[in-house]
Amino acid sequence: MNPKRIALAVTAIALVASPLSIGGGLKPSDTYAYATYWEKRDDVTVLLDSLTASFRADEAFIPIPVAIGFQAYGNEYTFTRESFFLIDHSGTLYGAASYEEVVDGYPPLLYDRGFSRGPVIAQEFVLSRREPSDFYPPKGDGGRIDRVHLSPYSWFRDVIYFPRPKSGLEGVLTLRVSGGGIDPPIDVRFKVPLPGIPIR
C-alpha cells in the first residue's frame, strides 16, 4: 500500500476520535491580521494566510501560504509536503497535493508567487533566521526543496497546495501540521474570505 495513503488513513482514524474533526462546531483560531490566523504551542508558531485561497476558489488546487517558526532552544523540526493536511468544514481530510499534480494541473502557479508570500506573516519572526523553502517551484525552475529543517530560532515561509475540497471553502477549515517532531499535531482553524461571506 502506498505510504502516503497509509499516513492519510492513520490520520483519518485519529480525526474520528478527535472533537476537532467536527467541522460545524469549530471556531477560527486567533487572527494575526486580516485573513491571517495563527496558533502557538510551546516553542512553535504556525501562521497562515487565507486571502490567497479566495482568489483561487474555482481552481483544482487551493493555495495556503504558511509561516512556521521555532523560537526556543532544545528541539528541532523537519517539514515536508506530507506534514500538512487540510480539513474541510465537514471533517473530510485532504493531504497536500504532490509537486507533479500542481505543476501539471494548476496554471496560476507562477502568478501566485507574486502575492502569496506577503510580509505580514514574516513580522513575527523578524529576529529569527529564515530557512529556504520551495515545495512547489514552477516547472523548470530547478529550485525545488522537498524538506525544511528548523533548528532553534529559525523559520520558513512557503505555499502549500491542497485539492479543492468537494464541499467548497465555506465554514471553518483547519490546517493540520504534524510529523517531523510536531507531536501532537498543531491545528490552525480559519475561514476564507469569500464574496458575500464575512470571516468574522
**What's residue 111's pLDDT?**
85
Domain presence at residue 195: no
Contact 147, 72 (CB under 8 A): no
Domain presence at residue 158: yes
Q: What number of residues does the chain have?
A: 200
**What's residue 199's pLDDT?**
59
**What's residue 191's pLDDT?**
95
- Model's pTM, two decimal places? 0.84
**What's residue 110's pLDDT?**
86
Pick from 177, 197, 179, 200: nearest CA to 187: 177
User: Comparing 59-63, 103-107, 110-114, 124-128, which segment has the lowest mean pLDDT?
Assistant: 110-114
Q: Rounded CA gap, 110 and 117, in Å?
A: 12
The better pLDDT of the pair 119, 42 is held by 42
Question: How many domains does the chain fold into?
Answer: 1
Domain presence at residue 38: yes
The better pLDDT of the pair 194, 63 is held by 63
**What's residue 10's pLDDT?**
38
Q: Name the 3-class secondary structure at 39.
A: strand
Domain hosting 16: range is 3-190
Domain presence at residue 197: no
Domain presence at residue 126: yes
| Predicted confidence (pLDDT) per residue in 132-190, tens digit | 999 999 887 778 999 999 999 999 999 999 999 999 999 999 999 998 889 899 999 99
**Cα distance from N-terminal residue to C-terminal residue, the chain:** 42
pLDDT tier at 121 (50, 70, 90 boundaries)?
low
Domain presence at residue 29: yes
Domain presence at residue 179: yes
Q: Rounded CA gap, 146 and 27, in Å?
A: 32
| Predicted confidence (pLDDT) per residue in 10-62, tens digit | 344 333 333 344 445 689 999 998 999 999 988 899 999 999 999 999 999 99
The better pLDDT of the pair 122, 13 is held by 122
Q: Rounded CA gap, 82 and 107, in Å?
A: 22
Burial call 112-138: b when 16+ CB within 10 Å, e when fewer: bbeebbbebbbebbeebeebebbbbbe
**What's residue 151's pLDDT?**
93
Domain presence at residue 92: yes
